Amino acid sequence: MKLLFTIAALCALPLAGCATPATQISTGLQRYGLDEQRAGCVGTRLQSDLSLGQLQRLGRAAAAYRQGDTTPGVLTAGDLLRVAGELKDPAIALAVGKAAAGCGALP
């Protein structure tokens, strides 16, 4: 699922400057076609539920998972949850699932 790959990729971005992580995640999701309301919801939930370090670890793990993939713009919900689960931090997997489901970002 393109949306979930985008969430993970955005979490890998350096979160510097004046914009909050939620704003940066939301802005990036909107660039990939998610409407403003759902993008803002996902960004806010991930920022609330995860630390900056957790967001960065999720992004790095998802990027590494997709390296060499023939469809790098696609990451299913199962793929992202698998990546989050491999981080051995249950809070990350829970936050990703809750944000995607709670914001209507799942198919």
In a domain, 59, yes or no: yes
Tell whether 107 is covered by a domain: no
Asked whether residue 64 is assigned to any structural domain, the reply reads: yes
Total domains present in the chain: 1
Q: Helix H segments across the chain?
A: 2-12, 21-31, 36-49, 52-66, 77-86, 90-102
Task: Give me the percent of the chain exceeding a pLDDT of 70.
Answer: 59
List Cβ neighbours of 60 (8 Å cut-off, separation of 6 or more).
Answer: 12
Evaluate if residue 15 carries a pLDDT over 60: no
The pLDDT value given to residue 97: 87
**What is the pLDDT confidence band of residue 90, given thresholds at 50, 70 and 90?**
very high
pLDDT at position 57 over 70: yes
| Domain contains 9 | yes
pLDDT greater than 70 at residue 44: yes
Pick from 32, 61, 29: which is nearest to 42 by CA?
Answer: 29
Pair 62, 75: CB distance under 8 Å: yes
* Domain extent at residue 35: 2-102
